[in-house]
Amino acid sequence: MTGRRHAPLAKRLTEDLRAEHADLHLSVRCDAAPGDGPGLEEVAGPYHGIAAVTVDPDLPVTIIRSPGPWTANEAGFASAAAAMTLAARSRYVIIDVRGNGGGNGEIGVFLATYFFPVGQERLLVRGVHRDPAREEQEWTYGYVPGRRLADAKLYILVDAHTGSAAEGFAFGLQRAGRATIVGQTTAGAGIAGHLEDLPGGLSLFLPTKLLRAPDGGDGWEGVGVRPDVVTEPGQEKAAAYDLIRADWLTASQNPNFALTTTLPPDRRPPLDATATPWDLGQATLPQAERCRHTEPDPDDAGVRLMTNVCPQPITLEQRRSTSPNALRLDTLDSGQTLATRATPRGGWRIMAVCPAGYRSSVPVTVDNITAISDSAYDCVRE
């Protein structure tokens, strides 16, 4: 009898072991024989723990859905890095680890590293063995590919099925004061270990170290990670969005508020000036003019500006709005075409462009453009 045929025996042995020692990691596993079932690639899923990344069209929010399991191989790290690349310009990040039973904790450390500045490595978790002289420490990495989100606000969604390495991810960032945990108390699986082979295709997951807080305090074994914001199951995402909207609205009312991103210069030949529907010419900030539509269409509002290539990086700014849901900025053609688009709920935005023909060491800001017209030809100057 090999492979999956040992499943009933593995289940019974696991139950007996946990009756003697209550540890969710302590288990006997049934390894399938070659060709007898899915391999690691299939078990981990095609995206190795990262199922989806959603970039909100109205708010600067990226949601990363990570149901696990996490695999610390080339594909696992590449998947995590790709998710963080999509989140790189967000002011808020939601990482959803509900139902994530864990996996390899190196992926959690990898993701956590993005939320700290370069050169400021942080101790997230201590691993304590039976021999007190043996202690392992999990620090954030000195390098991760791509842009870091040291100033982004992070929200981690958890539930009762969030376990092991996924719990360690939430625990470490919560203790570091770097994330707000939203949901329900997690599973409480805070002991790490390794697999030992047994006869007949079975293996024993043997716990070897207790995971504790960076200061040596208690970890989450047996008690779970307690969220900062407790919700009913299924309400975690809505609760995180409530926190984000409140923060965004407060920040947008500050006259110094700015959400800025820098695009690389476009080295292609300039656009034909005759193709510019609203020619800004040599306009500088003091000369910027308002544009409004005489009969605004609330269902499809926006104004498009086309500019020649700016020799310097183009700076895009969104400073405030009458509605937090109305904030959105689209960039087309590598910065040559800049467009604003209002939502059906209305509102206006401010954007910065490099005007056609302008040659300066500093990008010019064109202020107070009211995005309420679908065509620049329908605009009138105030």
Query: Where does 23-152 have alpha helices with state H?
Result: 40-44, 74-86, 105-113
Please count the other Cβ atoms lying within 10 Å of the Cβ belonging to residue 92: 23
pLDDT in tens, 200-257: 777 776 677 788 899 888 899 889 999 999 999 999 999 999 999 999 888 777 665 5
64 phi, psi to nearest 5 deg:
-110, 115
pLDDT in tens, 274-294: 323 333 333 332 222 333 333
The three-point CA angle 148-153-154 to 5° equals: 85
Q: pLDDT band for position 171 (50/70/90)?
A: very high
Beta bridge partners of 332: 337
* In the chain, where the domains are located: 3-251, 256-381
Query: What totals of helices (H) and strands (E) does the chain contain, helices first?
Result: 6, 18
Mean pLDDT, rounded, for 93-113? 95
Evaluate whether 157 touches 240 at the Cβ level (below 8 Å).
yes
pLDDT at 21: 64
pLDDT in tens, 302-351: 333 323 333 333 333 333 334 333 323 333 333 333 333 333 333 323 33
Evaluate whether 303 touches 379 at the Cβ level (below 8 Å).
yes
Q: What share of the chain is helix, strand, coil (3-state, %, to 5)?
A: 25, 25, 50
Class of domain 3-251: alpha beta
Tell which residue, 370, 354, 369, 349, has the closest CA to residue 59: 349
Mean pLDDT, rounded, for 8-35? 64
Residue 144 predicted with pLDDT over 60: yes
Residue 72 predicted with pLDDT over 70: yes
What's the CA gap between 138 and 219, in Å, rounded? 13
Evaluate whether 154 touches 173 at the Cβ level (below 8 Å).
yes
